[in-house]
Amino acid sequence: MKGSAITPVSYIRWDRQRSAPVEGWIVDEVPVCIRVHGEPWVTLMASPHDVESLVLGFLRGEGLIRGPEDVRALQRQEGTCVDVHLHSPPVTLPTHPTLTSGCVGGVTFERIVEELPRVDAALTLSPLRLMALMGELQRKAWAYRRARGIHSAALSDGENLLIVVEDVGRHNTLDRLWGVAMREGIDPAGHIILTSGRISSEMLRKAAKMRVPLIASRTSPTRLALELAHAWGITVVGYVRRQSLRVYTWPQRVREE
């Protein structure tokens, strides 16, 4: 990975009334400020590695760009500030952000309940395959296996994990997925998202804008996320474990082959 999401740390571990010094890892969290044409716009709390992909995905999710070809320059400046210059600058940058339920305060400038077209995709996947993909995500979550305390997400074609990302913010992982996908020329439409974090309405909105028909998590969705998933045609799967999972919406996409 570019840069690092974790830092070495020394601590005392207690186990069965015994203590011992341990050399381990802890996750990093920094403010990532985004400036568009020199104008300060928004600051995201995120992991400090590969912030360019995070910013690129965030710009796409907020509708400022349609792809990397709309970006004239994207440069990381001092610390974790990123200067963005677009070929066609927006007349007015979005304002009045909505703070979402992210563990580090996700942010969006769009209405959570905005109308989005239904995701129509003929995707089907067996429960066993979905469980296997989630297991693969856990094995490839490099920073989590060393430090814990960080979220992971993956984009999959149903057979393999195409992209794996990690960040302290679960919302940020989906922005990172989209950013890396754009850089690698991968259209996320029709693919699958796997995530370690809770599926909130904001997470569901990001998946819908990527035209992803199925999002699966090791934990739970929120009620509003399920209401939006019903309306937008997205299959939501929660509590994916080695031998079990829960399909909450559009269950026809998850069936035995």
Helix, strand, or coil (residue 194)? strand
| Cα(155)–Cα(188) distance, integer angstroms | 7
> Is 103 annotated as catalytic?
yes
DSSP state string for 18-81: EEEEEEEEEE--EEEEEEETTEEEEEEEE-SSSHHHHHHHHHHHTTS-SSGGGEEEEEE-STTE
Q: What is the signed CA dihedral for 163, 164, 168, 172, rounded to 10 degrees?
A: 10
Phi, psi at residue 20, to the nearest 5°? -155, 140
Pairing mode, if any, of strands 107-108 and 98-99? antiparallel
Angle, alpha carbons 34-224-169 (nearest 5°):
35
Pairing mode, if any, of strands 235-238 and 214-217? parallel
Pairing mode, if any, of strands 39-46 and 30-36? antiparallel
Work out whether the CA dihedral 85, 52, 171, 68 comes out positive or negative: positive
Q: Which of 26, 81, 103, 116 is catalytic?
A: 103
Chain centre to alpha carbon of residue 170:
5
Contact yes or no for 230/249 (Cβ under 8 A): yes
Catalytic residues: 103
